[in-house]
Structure 1
Amino acid sequence: MHVVTAASTAGSDELTVEFAGELFPVTPGEPFTVGREGDLAIEDNLFLHRHFLTIENIDGLWLLSNVGSRLAATVTDSGGRVQAWLAPGARLPLVFETTTVIFSAGPTTYEIVVHAAEPTFRETERFDDPVGQSTIGDVPLTLSQRLMILALAEPVLRREGSGMSELPTSAQAAERLGWTITRFNRKLDNVCDKLDRIGVPGMRGGVRAYATNRRVRLVEHAIAARLVTRDDLPLLDSEAASEAAAGRDDA
C-alpha cells in the first residue's frame, strides 16, 4: 500500500528534468519543450516530433502536456504504482517528487525523469508487498512470457539512469533466448492479448507498423509497471544456456 498526502505548494516552482545524465532546470512562466527542437532537444530521430512534450507552471501547478500528433507517453511515479497513458492532446499534473516519462519514437525508447523540489503529493507510509508484486498492471505471467518481455526490454533495463535505448527486433530477441521466431511471436501475441484485456492501451492497432508499435508499447508498460526489473536479467542467460544445452542433446 502506498499512501500520499497533499503537501504545501510553497517552493513548487522548483522543477528539474533529467535525461541521459544531464539536468535541465525548468523556469516558471516559460514552457519547457521536449522534442527534436526545444529546451531538451533530441535532434537525431526523425520519428520524434519537433515539439512533443511541454512542461509549464499554470496557477502554481506543474502540467505535462503532449503537444504532438502521433506519439504517446507513459507517465509513472517513482515506485511504479501510479501509471497514466498521455495521448496526443492530453495533459497531466506533475504532483509527485519523482515522475518518470517513457516514450518511443521509431525503434528507440526514451526515458526522462522529472524531479520536483516541493511536490504536491508526498509519500507518507508504505507497506511492502510480501510477494514483491505491484498492483499496477497486475497480470499473471508465465516464466516464458516474462522471458519474452525481458528479451525486448533488456537494453532499457541495462541502461543506467534515464536516456535512450534501441529496442531489439523480434528476431533479435528470439535469438537472444535461443527460441524460434514462431515461438517468440506466439508468446508476444499471448502477452499483448492479456494486457489488452485488462485495458492497457496500445496492445492492438492497425496492420501498418503494428508489429513495431506493440513491441515498444509493451516495453514501455512493462518498465513502468515493473513487470520486469534489472533483477530479472540473469534469467535471460539461464534460458539461453538451457536452450543451447537442449539443442546439443537433440544433436
Structure 2
Amino acid sequence: MHAVTSRAADELTVEFAGEEFPVAPGTVFSVGREGDLAIDDNLFLHRNFLTIQHVEGLWLLSNVGSRLTATVTDSGGRVQAWLAPGARLPLVFASTSVIFSAGPTTYELTIHAAEPAFRETQPEAEDDDGLSTIGDVPLTHSQRLMILALAEPVLKREGTGMSELPTSSQAAERLGWTLTRFNRKLDNVCDKLDRIGVPGLRGGVRSYATNRRVRLVEHALAARLVTRDDLPLLDLEHDLVAEEEA
C-alpha cells in the first residue's frame, strides 16, 4: 500500500478502499487478483483485469480480461461507458469511477488525474417543475425501491471498495415484498433500461437471471439512479408493508 501526499502534473492516482496508488508515465499499472492493485482473492476475478498506462500523451484504461466488463463514469455520473474485454478508453476527467462485478461481489475504484484533459463546467440550474427524472430514466417509486434494495450494501459502504450484493430473495425480504413482486419490478426496470440501450441487461437463458442484478447495480451507481440519501426509503417501505399486513 502507498501513502500519497502529492502528485506530479502528469501522474494519476488510483483510490481503492481508503488506499491510494500512484501511477507514473512509463509504467503499466495493473488491477486484478494480482498486480499493482491486488484487490481480492475472488476466483471470479481475473488475475489481470484492467491496466492503466500513458500512451502518446493520453492516459488509457484497458480491459485485458476475457470475460468481465467494467462500467466507467465521470464523477458526476453524466458520461458513462461500458468497457468490454479487449476495449480501452482515454481517462480525460479529473475523477473517474470504475465499477465492476465478479461473481456476487461488486467493486468500485476511483482514478484521479492531476491534470485532466477535460475540464467540467457548472451545469445550469434546472427548473423546479415538479417532475422527477432519475438519471434520464423515469422510475416509479417501487422501481426505485427495488434498485435500492439491491444496491444497499454498496451505498452503505464508505468510499470505494467491495460489497456483496444480495440475492433477489434477500432484497425482497428487505422490502417486505414477495419474491414474485420483486422479480416483476426487476423485469420491468431491466426491460426499460434495455430499450434505451443500456448494455448487459439481457443475455442467455443461463446467465440472465444472475448477471442482470449485478449489471443493474453497476449502472444504477454510475448513473446515480440511487444514492446514499435514498437509503431511509427502505426502512419506510418495510415498516409500511408490515403495518398493512398487521
* TM-score interval, smaller chain: over 0.9
TM-score by length of 2: 0.93
The 1-side partners of 2:131 and 2:199 are apart by 21
Correspondent of 2:200 among 171, 192, 202: 202
How far off its partner does 1:128 sit? 3.2
Return structure 1 stretches of 4+ with deviation > 3 angstroms.
128-137
The 2-side partners of 1:28 and 1:82 are apart by 25
> Which 5+ residue runs of structure 1 have no aligned equivalent?
1-10
- Match of 2:151, as an amino acid? A
How far off its partner does 1:210 sit? 1.9
The 1-side partners of 2:125 and 2:133 are apart by 12
For each residue in 1:129-182, what CA deviation from the matched residue of structure 2 results, as whole angstroms up to 9, or x when unmatched?
Answer: 345999885111110000000000001111110000000000000000000000
> Which 5+ residue runs of structure 2 have no aligned equivalent?
1-7
> Does the 8 A contact of 1:152 with 1:219 survive in 2?
yes
The 2-side partners of 1:200 and 1:147 are apart by 20
Change (3 A) 1:76 1:37: same
Q: Select the structure with the greater relative contact order (CA < 8 A; seq sep ≥ 6).
A: 1
Alignment correspondent of 1:8? none
The 2-side partners of 1:155 and 1:134 are apart by 25
Alignment correspondent of 2:142? 144
1:175 is aligned to 2:173: yes
Alignment correspondent of 1:234? 232
TM-score by length of 1: 0.91
Alignment correspondent of 2:54? 57
Correspondent of 2:189 among 167, 188, 191: 191
> Does the 8 A contact of 1:36 with 1:42 survive in 2?
yes
Change (3 A) 1:205 1:247: same
- Percent identity over the alignment? 81
- Match of 1:105, as an amino acid? A
1:104 is aligned to 2:98: no
The 2-side partners of 1:56 and 1:167 are apart by 31
How many residue pairs get aligned? The number is: 238
The 1-side partners of 2:228 and 2:163 are apart by 15
